[in-house]
């Protein structure tokens, strides 16, 4: 077929297409109007993800609290870690709850008071408990300073609540008054130190916790951790972990 014949046919096709589009124009004028567009709305605000909970391993936790000898009241402290959780968010330790089983027994002559179901709220430092069956806030413990440490080669992280050997439970006015009434004394006042000692909770050092602490898991296990932390403070252990070196 000659090039002249192909060109003629192509030209005829173009003319036909143009005529078809011209004929179709009036029909388009009678087409139904387009549906109105839905109004544009702003995207919903992002909701902050809740913090990550790391369960406390009771079997690897210790409580070394003793009754303050300066109170002038007889008794003993028989508390141990019963469970709880540590909450982390944005590479920070932001809160959690430490549940203590056992009891604190106080005696003054023939009268006695028992404090049980004790728990520590890390976010507020509030210590709750039951005084002879009445649940109340007993006082506070300093949770602003934390100490994290682990041994080389172990998948277990220890977290000291407060400064070691200074985890004092300080009574509030209501708890002091209730204990005084139960014991028939007036020696307990707001701000009195009820117990002294340390609270040490154990946590499984796994990939999730390492990510929360912003540390390489293998480096942390190989070298161990020994660092002071602040509640709600940024954690930056980095990768430069060496056994025996205190990072902060």
pLDDT in tens, 108-142: 999 999 999 999 999 999 999 999 999 999 999 99
Q: Which of 137, 129, 80, 124 is nearest to 231 (CA)?
A: 124
Q: How many CB atoms lie within 10 A of CB 105?
A: 16
Q: How many CB atoms lie within 10 A of CB 231?
A: 19
Percent of the chain with pLDDT over 70: 73
- CA distance readout (Å), 199 to 120, 193, 217: 10, 16, 25
Tens of pLDDT, residues 55-84: 999 999 999 899 998 988 999 999 999 999
Q: Give the start-end residues of each E strand in the chain.
A: 52-67, 74-88, 93-108, 111-121, 126-131, 134-140, 145-150, 156-161, 169-171, 193-204, 225-230
Give pLDDT, residue 34: 45
Rounded-to-integer distance, Cα 184 and Cα 225, Å:
48
Q: Which of 197, 136, 147, 208 is nearest to 172 (CA)?
A: 136
Q: Which of 229, 200, 179, 178 is nearest to 100 (CA)?
A: 200
Which pair of structure tokens corresponds to residue 160?
């000291």
Tens of pLDDT, residues 149-202: 999 999 999 999 876 556 789 999 999 999 999 999 999 999 999 999 889 999
The predicted model scores a pTM of: 0.75
Q: Is-contact 227 239, C-beta < 8 A? A: no
């Amino acid at each position: 077929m000659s090039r002249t014949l192909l060109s003629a046919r192509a030209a005829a096709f173009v003319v036909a297409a143009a005529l078809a589009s011209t004929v179709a124009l009036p029909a388009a004028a009678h087409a139904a109007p387009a549906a109105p567009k839905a109004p544009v709305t702003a995207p919903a605000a992002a909701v902050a993800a809740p913090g990550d909970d790391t369960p406390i391993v009771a079997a690897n936790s210790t409580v070394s609290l003793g009754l303050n000898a300066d109170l002038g009241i007889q008794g003993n402290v028989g508390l141990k870690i019963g469970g709880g959780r540590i909450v982390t968010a944005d590479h920070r330790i932001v809160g959690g709850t430490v549940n203590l089983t056992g009891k604190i027994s106080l005696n003054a002559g023939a009268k006695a008071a028992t404090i049980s179901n004790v728990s520590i709220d890390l976010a507020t430092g509030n210590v709750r408990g039951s005084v002879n069956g009445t649940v109340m806030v007993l006082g506070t413990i300093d949770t602003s300073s934390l100490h994290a440490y682990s041994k080389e080669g172990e998948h277990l992280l220890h977290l000291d609540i407060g400064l070691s050997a200074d985890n004092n439970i300080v009574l509030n006015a209501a708890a002091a008054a209730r204990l005084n009434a139960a014991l028939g004394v007036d020696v307990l006042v707001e701000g009195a130190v009820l117990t002294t000692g340390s609270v040490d909770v154990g946590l499984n050092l796994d990939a999730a916790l390492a990510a929360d602490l912003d540390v390489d898991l293998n480096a942390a296990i190989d070298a161990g951790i020994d660092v002071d932390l602040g509640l709600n403070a940024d954690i930056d252990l980095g990768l430069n972990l060496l056994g025996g070196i205190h990072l902060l």
